Structure 1
């Protein structure tokens, strides 16, 4: 696969040269006075990207989003605590599995893959929990496997409607820094992300935002933690060797995002995603997401016709054209292929991915007219181009 071609996977994403260079720094003594300003700048930038508000904290672990999930759970909950979660895709399932491995009592609401978080079922469960046994509600904001974005604000409304004090924890790994995320306005207590998606960095940082309520919950949390102990992270000195280069890159990333403006970042993602969706419609195919209000602006999972193996299609695109698309995962493995369109992405890059997908589908004998999706996306991009 050529490293000159952009990737169209939902992470790791393409890295802008400015950020790549920011990660390319000489070895630094992380116990010297040179490191704290870098760390503080990166954390402050993330807080602004999250729209965190006052009273919260950002911590940065040398890990990926999964490490962020573990930090969220182990720092705020106690053994045997009940949590409410929905299973509607690969990553919501993984978070449930992580909680169960930590001895938590997970009340699972089942939903189809392609559906969003079942807000009505959550509201019923919260209203029925008059003893407030549920200590946390878990939401996968953007289900990467199916290309579905759920309504976090509606879950907060369900919590408030039931007068329920549970913590609201949100997996924003493939949403934060790409699509609207309002930590304070939505009353999110723990927000988890990773460096390798909307922040456009290499993998290696788990990014965790905590509200004042989540910070207070740490005092009574009883689950074991050591490496992921947020109390150590907030002690005033980084508790182990920090990934200085990635943190310097994160400071550059947040500078870039905030200079563009988070509203503009979200609008760009929406516009590019809509071009991809119009291409999918022109091919006569459909997204895995059940309805338009669920369509993700960071990744589109495309259902392939019966008899076509979506994962084989992805492998063919990689071997024949040197372009990476996302394979289907879990319950939709082989049934979809995914086009990631987040992070560093432009109209021109998106068109290259659409054209390559058309070539691969034509090679597989699918009934797709070469150029049809490209033309549909071109028309949209021309109609909505900046300026």
Structure 2
């Protein structure tokens, strides 16, 4: 009988049974007091995951893209100028979203495999003496390339220029899996979704707004209705929604946050780093390279691996699924056909990661890649075995 293998895509991620059971609920009255008693503490607990005491968390039935539309339309007006960088598929999509909303985007062209170009941001912000730029956009973790950017450095560039622009951060594939410090980094709007670090299906856009961002909502003139922040805040104060909420997903999210806080966020982040490092050891043993161009950029949630010249990474992903029933992430945009991605976030252990590495090896060998069967698995095994006891002590 065929059983369910883990997925190794960077979202949606593997769903623990505990969360599936939490969502398996009869119809409930979302206007009743017991919904509010569960919902309002969830909003407070989510602040811990975002690393904020000052911010306000809001949920919208949507994905991360809906979260970005919420951020943009509630704080900006048509014709406003924003600063963004194009260095991956998702940073490119946020630029397109802003342009469709009638915003003028200063789009900095970056290399796919590099992070946010902080030096160029600093130069542009310093030159903007009239403060025409109203918001700065940054992807904390570019899911298409496996690159993590330094958000604290972006904030430092804003502060050095004494620039009042809002800082928007895409944390869709980082928040709840990697350390995120909204208050410390001076983030004004942080966006994530339910389907990655929170280990649920897609369907909830999860945002945190700083007091400055909430204030900006009062004067913003971009049209919004479904994604209206003020309407959501007003309903939330009563423990409700301005429309029918996805109660099952909210129940699952409450259980997910409980799971994360029970494990302890430092342990969650450490677990992701350790699993990611084992994957990187395997890639090195295969003789392959990462899309991320240097170690400071390496993501702890997704590893994008360059395939050798003459090979098609899409064919590899297809072969792994058809022959072994295991899903890896395909290359997107400018790296389509050039990289495949191993997602190692959310409900993931070193043992699960080893099964993904073994499957990738088998698929590559089947397709004639110059990879020795067992080489990457052995490298990851050595790392996981050598670090197991030390890691348990460090996070105890």
Q: Quick one: distance in 2 between partners of 1:37 and 1:133?
A: 43
Residue equivalent to 1:6: 6
| Post-superposition offset of 1:144 | 0.5
From 285, 290, 296, the counterpart of 1:282: 285
Asked whether 1:32 is paired with 2:22, we answer no
Contact 1:42–1:248 (CA under 8 A) maintained in structure 2: no
Q: Quick one: distance in 1 between partners of 2:263 and 2:299?
A: 21
Q: Quick one: distance in 1 between partners of 2:79 and 2:2?
A: 49
Asked whether 1:369 is paired with 2:372, we answer yes
Residue equivalent to 2:319: 316
* CA root-mean-square deviation: 1.0
Moved more, 58-67 or 28-37: 28-37
Q: Quick one: distance in 2 between partners of 1:8 and 1:42?
A: 28
**Normalised TM-score (structure 1):** 0.99
Asked whether 1:379 is paired with 2:378, we answer no
Residue equivalent to 1:213: 212
Report the secondary structure of 2:33's partner residue. Answer: coil
| Post-superposition offset of 1:310 | 0.1
Q: Quick one: distance in 2 between partners of 1:26 and 1:244?
A: 10
From 225, 238, 263, the counterpart of 1:260: 263
| Post-superposition offset of 1:41 | 2.3
Residue equivalent to 2:163: 164
In the TM superposition, what are the counterparts of 1:209-358 in structure 2 within 5 Å?
Answer: 209-236=208-235, 237-358=240-361
> 1:35-88 CA deviation, whole Å, 9 max, x = no partner?
11222122112111001122x211101100000000000000011000000000
Residue equivalent to 1:202: 201
In the TM superposition, what are the counterparts of 1:89-128 in structure 2 within 5 Å?
Answer: 89-128=88-127
Contact 1:22–1:245 (CA under 8 A) maintained in structure 2: yes
| Post-superposition offset of 1:2 | 5.5
**Normalised TM-score (structure 2):** 0.96
Moved more, 319-328 or 28-37: 28-37
Residue equivalent to 1:78: 77
Where do 5+ consecutive residues of structure 1 fail to align? none
Q: Which stretches of structure 1, 4 residues or more, deviate above 3 A after TM superposition? A: none
Residue equivalent to 2:17: 17
Where do 5+ consecutive residues of structure 2 fail to align? none
Residue equivalent to 1:183: 182
